[in-house]
Amino acid sequence: MSDKSPAISLFDVTGPVMTGPSSSHTAGAVRIGLMGRMIFGSVPEEIHIVFYGALSDTYKGHLTDSGVVAGLLGMDVDDPEIRQAYQKAATKGISVHIHTERESNKNPNTIEMHLISGEREMSITGVTLGGGEILIEEIEGVKTDLRGKEKVILFTGCRETIEKICQNFNLSAVAGTRSTLPEGSKVLSVSAPDENIDVEPVFLKIQENAVPDVEIRLISSLYEYGMVNPDPAFTSIHSVLSFCRSEAKSLPEAALHYEHARSGLSSEMIREMLLERWKIMEDSIQKGLDGPNHMVGGLMCGRDAQKMMSAFEKDRLVSGSVLSLAVARAIASMEANASMGRVVACPTAGACGVIPGVFSSVAEYRGFSKEIIVDGLLVSSLFGVLVAMRAPISGALGGCQSEIGVASAMAAAGIAQMAGGSRVEVCQAFALALKSMLGLICDPVAGPVEVPCIKRNAIGVANSLSSCDMALSAIESVIPPDEVVDALINVQHLLPRELRGSTSGGLGSTKTGCRLKKEWLERCSGN
């Protein structure tokens, strides 16, 4: 395995397909729970979960606690019953305990699990990275680097026995063990076979030998797509353009090349998977428009998309058909998300309305085919990857510029491609959109993914359309696209903690925001 961080898939930024409301704090939490289930080896009888920093305030609004429990019970990220995880645990006699530490220097997306079953106990620490991506960074005090994309073998027990097994089966250590462990302590090792060896047969052979004094677990991938090469084909927009020029390829072809090199998927399969995601995006729009949308937090009526569509049909709006439709549809998708509907995180669930709203409205206005829409998704996904491999796409880590800002830039690039823009024009659309969203804070009111998240998707829509039109008019960003991403990273680092997913800054700190938070917490405590 490579020592570098593995290449991000197109489907990591146009995905996961999930149940709302948050990709970081709902889908990511489910995946951390699923990993905990495999690492622990069974469903625990007692679950202790610790949330830190901003997440200690927002976990209820994002159903993060339900997500972790759902994963530990074996539910996946698109399970419609994630919200009922507590009840399901109770019917199995499993007790759940939540602990919070608001004042902490830990990554605010850190989730600690302490799992107990009889005399067995295990502590596992995970971090949600944004867009449903996760990292299991510690097991029983030992540093690890598991992202749910690997098939590896976990050993705990006698050091000498583990070393002998690894030598016999040509296994390489991924996570080292502490050399200062007291004598008699269990040793933990996460190992991967040589790239030419399949993990599961090796695991079964070891298991058949009934090795004494060693517990063994197979940790499987959580994803429908694998990884054949961890090194990304491109790491910058400049490198993509260089490839396109030297190989006489289009941007959609560059995206296909990138994903094939990473995952081994054929061009036909990649396009088919994106088309399936597009159908789910369309369904999320319809679900939001049809309603009823019963929001998790109940801070909004859940009928704003219907209101705007009605006003559009009565010819009361002034912004033109494409923008009006795009805004209504973006709000619809977000209302579906906020009421735990099935959506595509793109690049996150909190920004899942931008691309469906923009793409569907532009495609309808211009009469674009599904093939052209998939070309747009290929391009938007590739640009999302080029951001995500350098910067977090989580509001709690980088502000809303990292979510709706990146979604707006992805959308601008995608529709510029769909409209027949040149490679340079597509890149300029991305840069113009992203730089216009720099500094956008993440300030959820009370915690749920509703205020101001839903209406900010509408602003992301407007920004993407205007940026695309400027680029198609040969207007360029003075700051090159890759340097705009540099600027995003700079602002992420400078943004204070209070403006990164906390309820203590911005709109969340207003008089009304504080009142709504108090009412929300009272409702939660009554559940």
* Residue 98's pLDDT band (cuts 50, 70, 90): very high
CB 258 within 8 A of CB 232: yes
Q: Read off the pLDDT of residues 55-66 as tens digits, 9 standing for 90 and up.
A: 988 899 999 999
The domain total for the chain is 1
What does each C-alpha distance from 346 to 119, 298, 319, 423 come to in angstroms?
A: 43, 24, 25, 22
Beta partners for residue 124, in sequence order: 113, 139
Residue 45 host element (H or E): none
- Looking at residue 213, which CATH number applies to its domain? 3.30.70
Q: What does the alpha-carbon distance between residue 200 and residue 47 come to, in Å, rounded to a whole number?
A: 29
Assess contact for 380 and 433: CB atoms under 8 A: no
**84 falls within a domain:** no
Predicted confidence at residue 523, as pLDDT, reads 85
pLDDT, residue 158, reads: 84
Compute the average pLDDT of residues 69-76: 98
pLDDT of 327 > 80? The answer is yes
**Tokens 């296909």 — which residue?**
256
The answer to whether residue 315 sits within a structural domain is no
Query: Tens digit of pLDDT for each residue in 273-307?
Result: 999 999 999 999 999 999 889 999 999 999 999 99
User: Which structural domain range is residue 199 located in?
Assistant: 151-220
Q: Torsion angle, CA of 290/272/403/223, rounded to 10 degrees?
A: 110
Pairing outcome for strands 187-193 and 133-139: unpaired
Q: Is 160 inside any structural domain?
A: yes
Is 189 a member of any domain?
Answer: yes
| Per-residue pLDDT band at 1 (split at 50, 70, 90) | very low
For 112-132, how does the pLDDT look when each residue is reduced to its tens digit (9 = 90+)? 999 999 999 999 999 999 999
Residue labelled with tokens 């680029």? 471
What is the mean pLDDT of the segment spanning 466-482? 98
Which two three-digit tokens encode residue 392?
């977090």
Cα 252 to Cα 201, 451, 515, distances in angstroms: 37, 35, 48
In a domain, 188, yes or no: yes
In order of 219, 261, 516, the CA distances from 196 in angstroms are 18, 17, 56
Given a cut of 70, is residue 496 above it in pLDDT?
yes
Q: Is the pTM of this model over 0.85?
A: yes
Examine residue 200 and state whether it is found in any structural domain, yes or no.
Answer: yes
Flag whether 25 is in a domain: no
28 in a domain, yes or no?
Answer: no
Contacts of 56 (CB under 8 A, 6+ apart): 100, 101, 102
